Structure 1
């Protein structure tokens, strides 16, 4: 597979009246063409800021540095705002968390979807209108030729989310970033949106980065998962690795918080005790150490490196060190039965 996106040692911070908030700390990851990658973690773990940094959509007090952020062999860090405008919405589409706040309430849906076609593809209004209707039909919005003349408040929550997907895909981007695309939707609509994204990925041959706090959402769509915590990727591997052979206590905590219908003995879902670290003063050691039941002395003072579990699976946890005490979970994973 060809590499579409490669991020090397990216840091993002925000200057506030309290000091510097180090929101993303030394992130490395890559994405292949046609691949779906899941980024999971609690709120505040750095998932959305990582993507906003790549897109250069940070507020004025935000700053991003990196060795490189390569997209289609271009280093995005070196591009000025005008060149980035040619990439955003054209080569990279993004679905934001809340479609009601992302869609402009004073413009009709058709106008908002046609705008990127006129800007990036230089279409006239009639051709853009035909393309908008075609795209609304693709995302399964009924009566598309009538719906283009309606305002966002006239759409249901699920239909607004479909309209946002249509807007993100209107220019046939090579990469779609979906930031919590199902959070505000009921379970039935969630399943429909995820199935739609899976279908569009196959039809259009695009790559997807799916941001979510729910591991269950990424199970059927993504082939690889990055687990984020405290502004860092603390475990990365294939979906099977993360679900059945995870090697970080934080990942175990996430897995324990979702139901497993295949377990012989039903168990209560267990939340992760404690709160995420204060990124105004990031801890010297493992960011998860204060909440971890396996914390050792070294965890509090020294950040672990990336321990390689196999070719495409690594974990930032001292329990993977050769001299670390052994636990049943390090040797066997936390899910005994396949879903």
Structure 2
């Protein structure tokens, strides 16, 4: 399958009054056309900053220090803002984590959707209005025409999320980045949003990068998964590999901390003890060393490479070295 996006050795840092925060430390992955890629990991692991780097939406003190981002065969990490504006919101869109802070509270939602169509598609106001109504209907907002002049505070959390999805889909993007699209929504609305994203993928063959803490969502939606920790990818593979052939202790820890109906009442959940590494002073070895039950001397001193488990599965853990002791991390 053709690659839509390639990220090579991406390093993103933020300058603060405490020093340089190395939020992303050498991330490499690709995304195929029509694929859903899940990105999981604890808060602060670098998931959202990686995607903000791809979209070039970093804060003023943030900077891509190294690496390449190739979208549709074109490098975009080194293009200017004017060139990026032709891509962002057009062929590449993002659903942000909190729609209440992402939508402009002072502008009707209809105008916010229309703006994208007018800027990128050159539509007239009347054409953009009709297309925006069509988009609201498509994402399941009832009486879309009547709600075009309503403001974000007049919508529920689930409906605001649907407005965000309508805005992101306005120009039929080839890449859709969804940052925690179901956070703070009740279970029924979560299911509706996921079903909507599934229909989007089937209808316009959009490739999706889905950032989430919910491993149930990953199992249901994703073709492949990147597991991030301490600003790096510690394991990547097909969804079935991540769930059934785990090769990194951190991934195993995430899976053990998820409630399993078959084990309820029989054994307690096992949390990952400790805290993530300080990215002001990141460790020179494995970032999971301090919290790992299988840590070795090599883990503290040397960053493990992504060992190849099979064609689609890699794990950055010294336990995958041919000379490492054979242990079960499950």
**Counterparts of 1:269 and 1:192 in 2: how far apart (Å)?**
28
**Local SS of the residue matching 2:250:** helix
Matching of residues 198-237 of structure 1 within 5 Å: 198-237=198-237
**Counterparts of 2:169 and 2:51 in 1: how far apart (Å)?**
17
**Counterparts of 2:145 and 2:247 in 1: how far apart (Å)?**
51
1:251 has 2:251 as partner = yes
Q: CA deviation at 1:263?
A: 5.2
Going from structure 1 to structure 2, the CA distance change for 1:138 and 1:326 (only over 3 Å counts) comes to same
**Counterparts of 2:78 and 2:124 in 1: how far apart (Å)?**
32
**Local SS of the residue matching 1:120:** helix
Q: Is the 8 A contact 2:11 2:67 kept in 1?
A: no
Q: CA deviation at 1:60?
A: 1.4
Q: CA deviation at 1:265?
A: 7.9
Match of 1:299 in 2: 299
**Counterparts of 1:268 and 1:188 in 2: how far apart (Å)?**
27
Q: CA deviation at 1:8?
A: 0.5
**Local SS of the residue matching 1:67:** strand
TM-score by length of 1: 0.95
Q: Which moved more, 1:25-34 or 1:265-274?
A: 265-274
1:283 has 2:283 as partner = yes
**Counterparts of 1:30 and 1:2 in 2: how far apart (Å)?**
10
TM-score by length of 2: 0.98
Matching of residues 9-88 of structure 1 within 5 Å: 9-88=9-88
**Counterparts of 1:257 and 1:214 in 2: how far apart (Å)?**
11
**Counterparts of 2:58 and 2:4 in 1: how far apart (Å)?**
22
Q: Deviations over 1:79-99 (max 9, x none)?
A: 110000010100111000000
Q: CA deviation at 1:204?
A: 1.2
Q: CA deviation at 1:213?
A: 1.8
Q: Is the 8 A contact 2:237 2:313 kept in 1?
A: yes
Q: CA deviation at 1:112?
A: 0.5
Match of 1:184 in 2: 184
**Counterparts of 2:264 and 2:97 in 1: how far apart (Å)?**
36
Q: CA deviation at 1:262?
A: 4.6
**Counterparts of 2:217 and 2:259 in 1: how far apart (Å)?**
12
Q: CA deviation at 1:266?
A: 4.0
RMSD, matched Cα: 1.2
Gaps of 5+ in 2: none
Q: CA deviation at 1:268?
A: 1.9
Q: Deviations over 1:229-268 (max 9, x none)?
A: 0000000000000000010000011101112235598432
**Counterparts of 1:265 and 1:33 in 2: how far apart (Å)?**
43
Aligned residues: 330
Q: Which moved more, 1:132-141 or 1:265-274?
A: 265-274
Match of 2:310 in 1: 310
